[in-house]
Chain A
């Protein structure tokens, strides 16, 4: 039921855009696939980037065989037209026209592609390491062939002679937080720069998914980013379903939606607790943690797992749903969060730490292609639940929470508004009768043609994307996972650099509420 609203199909602007690629009319499909030859790729990228409401959501490469040509795919979110546009370009050589010159946010992906497939943008600019350690040699396991010479490291920012030095922090940091290396570059007083190394946690998930059936792969997708299990596995499942031509039954989609909103709720509660902790407000933290624990127990009561693992399945939803528990416990559990939140919003010492901290401009959010609450807090009203609604979201109009200050307080308020919205949605969707159910694969298994598909979901951290290519035996040849964390970490150092007090960084990190696991997948 991944159909969009009718009546948008022949929107003239969109038709102009598609005519560039020699297509007339978009049809009703939510995903439009076009092919853009490398020769005029730059022109095409410029054209699409100029399209109103268009953002480059992801860039990745898929190999056909290890040493042959590769396909470069750009995934654009045409939010105004409620479409995703996938442009495919076949690349024979070692290079392709630089994308980051036009869309700066694509730099990280360019680095990643170079690391994994050894092909680089034509501009000779140095690239950074993303997923692999400094000593990763040519024989390191990769998705494609190794680059001819290793990518440059994120340089030691402190040159001898500069009046700054690097304050190393991590990878082993505070208690019960993920491993992450911060390089804080400081002049002794102000924070000059900040950069992150996340390769300590790179588990090569995309690498190990190759050759699996989507069903087996789902097990790893869920465990790629535990705090985003539903969002990511929904996106992945949707991609696989698009590839296999499955249509999950409505009650299963409703179950997914409820799970997704529950995930959003507990994540925002957890973020609230983390904010209190980073501002040293112990009792506030306790109050938020009571709410968090009750929401997690609600998850367990409703879907049988505190973190909602195993809810989504390819073609539907597996875990059955205890609607009574949902109706019974949700109001109380959310009430805890609500009370804690309103008390926090009336505590000045708390608000003072949040206000004007970690400011991120809308322009920066747009430039870097940020998503989710972080982007919405800067005034970017992007939410796939509203822009690319899959059933049941299309049925229930969603009020997208937006703030414009772009600081920690704005992010906090956005989260709280979203939490309230989620509770409303759960109530309405719950009435449509949600439950487990699986679509039977039409002609699944051997014999079917190789196919690929794109899937998405609005996880609590923002848009989560997945793209899956299956061979004729229904096994994965290339799976691309793009959790929201992948996009949003690149906005983190900008937000920190707007600050020059070290003690604000934990607050900013809490307000982003990202996971390292999500980006170092």
Chain B
């Protein structure tokens, strides 16, 4: 359950609505296709580790699939190299609706590269992104949390953090 705050009701509406859709559509089985748009390969390593014994995302009903036709969720890493955009668009279109796009890592969120002749500086301008996972690279735990947010099994709690300490610094 989400508490009111400065970010208006419209935005809240979208997030709640997304969560409802996702839970309705995919339940406890959701297939993930990843897409590397120019990452530094450590995001990929962390995603691979999601399937490793320590995290084992299969127990939560997530599965990896190489075929976009079978995928429900697109995990995009990297700053979207411009010459790769065709391939990225093809992959996105190849995934049947309804689909979720998860921007993974600081590059994809526009943290590392700025828009310039080589990269778009984040994937926000290329896809309608549903979930944003910060981190450089986001640890498997962060990725898990992001995926759970995507299927709405965790409240979208980040709104409530304000990243400002009142009182003594930790």
Contacts and interface: CB of A to CB of B under 8 A. Distances in A.
Interface of A: 133, 140-141, 171-179, 199-204, 207-208, 219-220, 223-227, 229, 270, 273, 286, 289-290, 292-293, 296, 306-307, 309, 515-518
30 contacts: A133-B83, A141-B118, A172-B35, A175-B34, A175-B47, A176-B48, A177-B44, A178-B36, A179-B38, A199-B83, A201-B38, A203-B38, A203-B79, A204-B116, A208-B116, A223-B107, A223-B112, A226-B39, A226-B41, A227-B42, A227-B45, A270-B45, A286-B52, A289-B52, A289-B54, A290-B52, A293-B54, A306-B46, A307-B45, A517-B41
B87 A179 contact: yes
Closest 3 CB pairs of A and B: A226-B42, A226-B40, A289-B52
Contacts of A133: 83
B117 interface: yes
B37 A179 contact: yes
A460 to B, nearest CB: 12
Interface of B: 32-49, 52-54, 64-66, 68, 78-79, 81, 83-84, 87, 90-91, 107, 112-113, 116-119, 136-137, 139
Contacts of B47: 175-176
Contacts, number: 120
A187 to B, nearest CB: 26
Contact of B81 (A200, A273, A286, A306): A200
Interface centre among A175, A179, A307, A517 (most CB of B within 10 A): A175
Contact of B52 (A202, A224, A292): A292
Contact of B53 (A220, A226, A286): A286
B118 A204 contact: yes
Given A178-B36, A199-B83, A286-B53, A226 B64 contact: no
Contacts of B37: 179
Nearest to B31: A175
Given A171-B84, A176-B64, A515-B41, A201 B53 contact: no
Contacts of B112: 219-220, 223
Nearest to A485: B41
B83 A177 contact: no
